[in-house]
Amino acid sequence: MQMEPKVNILLVDDKLENLLALEAILEKLGENLVRATSGEEALRCLLHQDFAVILLDVQMPGMDGFETATLIRNRGRSRHTPIIFLTAFSTSDQMLFKGYALGAVDYLLKPLDPNILTSKVTVFVELFKKTEAVKQQAAQLVAVNAELRQSEERFRSLSTCSPVGIFEIDTEGGCRYTNPRYQAICGLKAAESLEKRWLESVHPEDRERAIASWSNYIYQGRDYSEEFRFQTAHGIVRWVQVRSSPMLSGQGELLGYVGTLEDITERKQAEEVRAQVIREQTARQEAEAANRMKDEFLAVLSHELRTPLTSMLGWSKILRSKKLDEKATSRALEAIERNAISQMQLIEDILDVSRIIRGQLRLNVSAVNLITVMEAALEAVRPLAEPKDIKLNIALDTSVGSVYGDPARLQQIVWNLLTNAIKFTPKGGRVDVNLSVICGEEQTTHKYAQIQVIDTGIGISSEFLPKVFERFRQADSTTTRSHNGLGLGLAIVRHLVELHKGTIFAQSPGTGEGATFTVKLPLLQDNRGSRASREATGEISSPVASTPLTGLRVLVVDDETDTRNFLSFMFEEYGASTTAVASVDEALAILEQAKPDILISDIGMSEKNGYMLIRKLRSLEPEKGGCIPAIALTAYTREEDRLEALSAGFQQHLSKPIDPTKLIAMVVNVLKLPVEVAVS
C-alpha cells in the first residue's frame, strides 16, 4: 500500500528553544516540521513549499509576526494558508483584532498546552489533506471530461463519416440514435428517423419476412444479419444488409440493440449479372448437350430401324427368289416376324414419347388386379430370358389388392422393366421379381403396392444413375455398343408410373453390380381393392355396404381427363350418379340441369380455377345451386391453401393424390348421410 505523503507545517520563532519545544509537541503527528527563525526565513520557505498551517510568533526582532503575516497574505500562493499566532503576552482586544484582520485563524498563549496545540494543528492538517484530495479529484475530473469530450467528438466524426448506417434502439423498440448514412438509406430526415423503425422502410414484398426474422431475433437475442429491399418515400429501391447485436451493461442487463444498415445494391446487381451469365452458360451447355443427344438419338434410331429391316428384306428376297424347304421357310418367317415385332415396339416407344411430350398420353382407368398384370408381363418375357438361360425368381404377394389404373399401361410398366433387366443381364444371370404391400412414410394408414425388379446385370454407374429416367439417355450411345434400344423405355415407365400417382426410383452399387428398380403405386382401400377377387369367388358385399352413395348426384369438375375418369369411375362404383366436366364454364352451364347433391372441384385448372367457380356458385340463389355443398381437390397442401379454400366457400379441402377412402368419408360427412347407410 502506498504511503500517504507528509504535510508541511511551518514553525516560526526567533528563539531556538521555542522551536524545539514546538517540534517535541508536534512530532507525534508524523508530518514534516519546517523551522524558520525569522519572518524573512519564513517567507523564503513559502516560495517553494505549501504548508497546511503556520505557527507564527508575534514578538520577533526586526520583522515581527504581524508584518510577516501581512507579507504572507500578499502572496497568492500563501494567501489562504492558516496562521496561528503564538504570544507570551496577554492578548488584548486590539491585538486580537489586528491579528484576525491579517488573516489569523487563532491565538495561543505561551506557555502552550500541548493537547490544545496538537488538536488545533491536527484540524488544519486534516483540512489541508482533504483540500488537496479534492483538488486532485477535480483535476482528474477535468481530465476525464476532456477525454470524454474527445471521445464524443471522435464518435460523432466516425458516425457522421461512416459508409454504413448506424442505429440504436431501446428495449421497447424506440429509436434513440441514427447517423446521416442511416437516414439517407431509409430516405428520412433526422427527426423522422427517430420516430420510425427501420422495418417501415423495408419494401412491402419483403416486410413480412423482415418482421418475422426481427421478432425471432429479439426473442432469441443472438446476432442478426439479413438482406432486404428498402424502398424510400420517393420510390427508390435498394438492397440493404441489416446487422444488429444486443447492447448489454457490465452486469449483463439488456440495454437495447445497436445495428448497421449497409447498401449492397451494387453487390446484388453484380451477383445477378453473374447468375445471368451462369444461366446463359448453362443453357448454352444444355442446348449443346441436347443437340448432341439429338444427333446420337438419330444415329441410334437409324441403326435400330435398319437392323431389323436388313433381316426382314433379306429373308423376304430369299423367299421370293428361291424355293426353300419347310424348315428353312419356317426359320425365315420366324426371323421376319421377330424383327417386325422388334420394329413395331420401337415405333410404339417413339409414339408414346411423342404423346408424352405433347401431353396427350391418356389412361383408361379401372380397378386393376396387379397379380394378373404381372403374370401376363412375366409370361410375355419368358421367351427373352430362356435363350440367355436367365433365371426368373418370382415372389408375388397374393394379398396385394387392386389399384386404379390402366391395365395395358401397368403391364407395359412391368414388361419394360423386365425386358430392360433381361437385356442388361449376362447369360446365366438372375432376375428377381417381387410384389408386396408397404405402408406410406407419412400416412401409415395408407398402403402401397411395391413392385421390385432386381437383376445381376451390368449395373449403373453413379454418374449415370441420376439420368437413367431421362428421354434419349443411354450410358453408351456409340455405334459399337453391345445393347440395342433407343433409350426411351425407362423414360416412358417413369411417366406412366407418375400418371398412376406412383413413384419409381433406381438403385445400383455401381458398374457390374446389378440394378434394382422399385415402383410404388397407391392401393385402393382393402375392401375396395380386393373387390375383384371377392366377386370372382362369390364374396360380393351387400348393396348397402358396397354402395354408400346410392342415388347421390355428383358434379365433378377437373381439366385433367384421367382424373375426371378416375373420379367418375370411383363415385359410380360407390353407387353415385356422376356428371364430369372439364371447365368452370361447363360446370355453370349444366348446373341447373344436373341438379347435383355435391360438387367436387379441382382448384388448379387452366383459364378459370376452382376459386372462381365456388365464388360464382355462392353468388347464385339457393334454388339455382348457390348452396350446394362443395369439396376442393388440390395439389396445394399448405395450411393457408386449406384456409383459402374454406374461406372461398368450399366445405372441405382434400389434397392430392386422392385417397378414395378419405374422399368418400368426406362426402358422407359433408352431406351428413346416416352412418348405417355410409358403411363401406
DSSP 199-216: GGGB-HHHHHHHHHHHHH
Residue pair 486/350 in contact (Cβ under 8 Å)? The answer is yes
What gap in Å lies between CA 108 and CA 230, rounded to an integer? 84
Tally Cβ neighbours within 10 Å of residue 89.
10
What gap in Å lies between CA 488 and CA 420, rounded to an integer? 11
CA distances from 579 to 2, 576, 590, 591 (A): 104, 10, 9, 10
Residue 13's region, left for phi above 0, alpha for psi from -120 to 50, else beta, is beta
Q: How confident is the model at residue 591 (pLDDT cuts 50, 70, 90)?
A: confident
Give the 3-state secondary structure of residue 170.
Answer: strand
What gap in Å lies between CA 34 and CA 31, rounded to an integer? 10
Give which of 402, 493, 494 is closest to 447, Cα–Cα: 402
Give the 3-state secondary structure of residue 487.
Answer: coil
Q: What is the CATH number of domain 269-354?
A: 1.10.287.130
What is the identity of the amino acid at 100? Y
Residue pair 438/496 in contact (Cβ under 8 Å)? The answer is no
pLDDT higher than threshold 90 for residue 240? yes
Strands (E), 199-356: 224-231, 237-248, 254-263
Q: Residue 298: its pLDDT value, please? A: 66
**What number is the average pLDDT over the span 477-492?**
55
pLDDT higher than threshold 80 for residue 678? no
C-alpha cell at 326: 419347310
Residue 247's region, left for phi above 0, alpha for psi from -120 to 50, else beta, is beta
What gap in Å lies between CA 122 and CA 120, rounded to an integer? 5
DSSP element (H, E) containing 419: helix 407-423
Considering the chain, what percentage of its residues have pLDDT values greater than 90? 21
What gap in Å lies between CA 562 and CA 602, rounded to an integer? 13
Tally Cβ neighbours within 10 Å of residue 653.
21
Domain residue spans of the chain: 8-138, 162-263, 269-354, 365-528, 542-671
C-alpha cell at 221: 437475442
The mean pLDDT value of the chain amounts to 82
Give the 3-state secondary structure of residue 543.
Answer: helix
Residue pair 88/112 in contact (Cβ under 8 Å)? The answer is no
Q: Kindly calculate the radius of gyration of the chain based on its CA atoms and give it in whole angstroms.
A: 52
**What number is the average pLDDT over the span 586-594?**
85
- 397-433: string of b/e by CB count within 10 Å (b at 16+)? eeebbbbbbbbebbbbbbbbbbbbbbbbbeeebbbbb
542-671 adopts what CATH topology?
Rossmann fold (3.40.50)
Residue 294, CA atoms < 13 Å, CB-side half-sphere: 6
pLDDT higher than threshold 80 for residue 157? no
Residue with the bigger pLDDT between 593 and 486: it is: 593
CA distances from 586 to 2, 146, 569, 606, 607 (A): 102, 86, 20, 13, 13
What gap in Å lies between CA 69 and CA 74, rounded to an integer? 9
Residue 93, CA atoms < 13 Å, CB-side half-sphere: 0
Strands (E), 275-386: 366-369
Point out the least confidently predicted range of 208-212, 276-280, 402-406, 609-613.
Answer: 402-406
What gap in Å lies between CA 590 and CA 624, rounded to an integer? 11
Q: Which CATH number fits domain 162-263: 3.30.450.20, 2.40.50.140, 3.40.190.10, 3.30.1280.10?
A: 3.30.450.20
pLDDT higher than threshold 90 for residue 520? yes
3-state helix, strand, coil in the chain (%, to 5): 50, 20, 30
Q: Residue 676: its pLDDT value, please? A: 44
What gap in Å lies between CA 385 and CA 455, rounded to an integer? 12
Bridge partner residues of 33 (DSSP): 9
Main-chain dihedrals φ then ψ at residue 632, nearest 5 degrees: -95, 130
Q: Residue 476: its pLDDT value, please? A: 47
Residue pair 392/375 in contact (Cβ under 8 Å)? The answer is no
Q: Express each pLDDT in 599-608 by its tens digit.
A: 999 988 878 8
DSSP string, 242-264: EEEEEEE-TTS-EEEEEEEEEE-
Give which of 80, 75, 137 is closest to 103, Cα–Cα: 80
Q: How confident is the model at residue 657 (pLDDT cuts 50, 70, 90)?
A: low
Q: Express each pLDDT in 298-327 by its tens digit.
A: 665 665 566 667 667 878 877 887 777 888
C-alpha cell at 389: 438361360
CA distances from 658 to 242, 302, 524, 542, 551 (A): 45, 43, 10, 26, 23
Q: Residue 525: its pLDDT value, please? A: 63
Main-chain dihedrals φ then ψ at residue 101, nearest 5 degrees: -65, -30
DSSP element (H, E) containing 426: none
Q: Which CATH number fits domain 8-138: 3.50.30.30, 3.40.640.10, 3.20.20.70, 3.40.50.2300?
A: 3.40.50.2300
DSSP string, 80-124: T--EEEEESS---HHHHHHHHHTTEEEEEESSPPHHHHHHHHHHH
What gap in Å lies between CA 363 and CA 568, rounded to an integer? 14
Please tell me what DSSP assigns to residue 61.
Answer: S
Residue 208, CA atoms < 13 Å, CB-side half-sphere: 1
What gap in Å lies between CA 137 and CA 429, rounded to an integer? 99
**What number is the average pLDDT over the span 545-563?**
81
Residue pair 467/426 in contact (Cβ under 8 Å)? The answer is no
pLDDT higher than threshold 80 for residue 624? yes
pLDDT higher than threshold 80 for residue 675? no
What gap in Å lies between CA 77 and CA 62, rounded to an integer? 24
Q: Do domains 8-138 and 162-263 have the same CATH topology?
A: no
Residue pair 110/87 in contact (Cβ under 8 Å)? The answer is yes
Main-chain dihedrals φ then ψ at residue 576, nearest 5 degrees: -85, 160
C-alpha cell at 474: 443411354
**What number is the average pLDDT over the span 227-248?**
90
Q: Residue 526: its pLDDT value, please? A: 46
What gap in Å lies between CA 98 and CA 86, rounded to an integer? 14
Q: Express each pLDDT in 248-302 by its tens digit.
A: 888 888 888 999 999 999 999 999 999 999 999 989 988 887 777 676 666 656 6
Considering the chain, what percentage of its residues have pLDDT values greater than 70? 84
Q: Residue 680: its pLDDT value, please? A: 36
Q: Residue 346: its pLDDT value, please? A: 67
Q: Express each pLDDT in 10-23 by its tens digit.
A: 999 988 988 998 99
pLDDT higher than threshold 90 for residue 435? yes
Asked if the bond preceding 111 is cis, omega within 30° of 0, the reply is: yes
DSSP string, 576-640: -EEEEESSHHHHHHHHHHH--SEEEEESS-SSS-HHHHHHHHHTS-GGGTTT--EEEEES--SHH
What is the side-by-side order of every strand in the sheet holding 447-455? 391-396, 430-439, 447-455, 515-522, 503-507
Q: Express each pLDDT in 49-95 by its tens digit.
A: 889 899 998 888 888 888 888 888 888 888 888 999 888 776 666 77
Q: Express each pLDDT in 97-142 by its tens digit.
A: 777 777 778 888 888 889 988 988 999 899 888 988 888 888 888 8
Q: Which CATH number fits domain 365-528: 3.30.565.10, 1.10.580.10, 3.30.1120.130, 2.70.98.20?
A: 3.30.565.10
